[in-house]
Structure formats: C-alpha cells, structure tokens
Amino acid sequence: MHQSDHEAWNAKNYPGTRQLCADCGEPTGRCEDDSIYADDDREIGPLCEKCRELRINPMKVIFLDVDGVLSSGGAEGLCGTRLDLFAKVIREAPARVVLSSLWRHPHCTEQRMLLQRELRRRGVELHSKTPIGPKGRANEIRAWLAQQEPGSIADFVVLDDDPSEELAGLKDHLVICTSHDGLTEDIARQLIARLNRT
Ligand SMILES: [Zn+2]
C-alpha cells in the first residue's frame, strides 16, 4: 500500500488513533503497522518523515555574521570573492546557513534581501536565523540550538570577525576572521576541515 493510501485507510478504519512523532509531536500520518524509527531497535520513534531524515542525516550549521566576514561594511561592501568562497564552504561541508548577523533585524530587510539574492545566485539558501534577544549573540545562538529537534544537529561553527568575550563560551565552535580581510581561502579551508571532522 502506498503511504497516501495507508493514511486514508487509517483515517477511515482507525479514526482517533493519530500517531504522534516522538521528536516534534506532529501527527506522523502512520499507524503501528507502518511506523518509522531512526534505529533498527525501534527505540527512537515513532517519527515523522522529516524528523527521521534529520536523525539519520543530522545538519551541520554555520552561524553567519556578515559585516567583516562577507562584507567590508553594509550592503555596498558585499564582496563577490568572499561570497563565492562561502558558497564553496557550504557545498563542501555541506552545511546549512543560520544568520546571526545584525542583518537579520527588521531594519536591515533590504540588506538581507540582497544577501539572499547573492547567495541564491550561488546555489545557497538561508536556512534560518537566530532569535533576537536581549542577551547577546552567544545566547541567541544557544536559544536557536535549543529550539531544534533532538539529534538533528551534527555540529556547528560560529563564523565571526569579533572574538568578543560573550562568544568565548562557544570557543570550540568559533572560527574567527579579521574584519579587514573577512572570509579568506585559508579561513574557508579551516571551516570545511572543521565541519568534516564529524
Ligand atoms: Zn517529527
């Protein structure tokens, strides 16, 4: 039976027995007979398709700062060479991009749209952005990580040009460039090596 037929069959024959995903809590659209798990022992689950995919293939994430990394300052400063390098990192890691730059704020919508366009031209999508909180960048990154489904993040790096004290708590994940040079070939290699370690 196809999954869609199975769903219809379940809805007709087992109304009210809607199986919920153990990770995200959403209905899986499945019943006991066709439940899916992330492991052979059927301990991690039952799961929905999306959560199983994340369990089997957890994400690598780069938290991206833009000014001093991809831009030498503002939208006009976005650098083609750095964007090309960044796209290469994302492809080779491969990783998802989570924006943690000032550019995610509502007053930077135009800059963000431009960044999005430039990345998309290079085959890279922005996956998400960190929440905007009162307690600084490191806490916003932690808050974003805490919102993810268990087991869905394989590893992450924080790419920044500002080795501030508040980021020190994430030092095992920090890759720092200088605000003068931004993302260089050397830093790109470091990022790829770092994300392929796991
Ligand atoms: Zn789920």
- Go through the domains of the chain in sequence order and give each one's CATH number: 3-55 (no CATH), 58-195 (3.40.50.1000)
Distance from residue 142's CA to the centre of ligand 1 (Å): 21
**CA 27 to ligand 1 center in whole angstroms:** 8
126-163 pLDDT per residue, tens: 999 999 987 888 999 999 999 998 888 999 999 999 87
Report which DSSP code applies to 162. Answer: -
pLDDT at 74: 81
User: Is the per-residue pLDDT at 117 higher than 70?
Assistant: yes
Quick one: pLDDT at residue 93?
A: 92
pLDDT of residue 125 exceeding 80, the answer is yes
Q: How far is the CA of 52 from the centre of ligand 1 (A)?
A: 7
Query: pTM (2 decimals)?
Result: 0.79
Question: If you measure from the C-alpha of residue 37 to the centroid of ligand 1, how many angstroms do you get, rounded to a whole number?
Answer: 11
Ligand 1 mean position, distance from CA 128 (Å): 18
> Do residues 90 and 192 lie in contact, with contact meaning Cβ atoms separated by under 8 Å?
no
Is the model's pLDDT at 198 over the cut of 70? no
Is residue 16 predicted with pLDDT exceeding 80?
no
For the chain, list the strands marked E by DSSP: 59-64, 96-99, 126-129, 153-160, 174-176
pLDDT band of 43, cuts 50, 70, 90: very high
* One-letter-per-residue 3-state SS of 124-159: CCEEEECCCCCCCHHHHHHHHHHHCCCCCEEEEEEE
Half-sphere exposure of 154 (CA within 13 A, CB side): 19
CB atoms within 10 A of CB 57: 9
- CA of 22 relative to ligand 1 center, distance in Å: 7
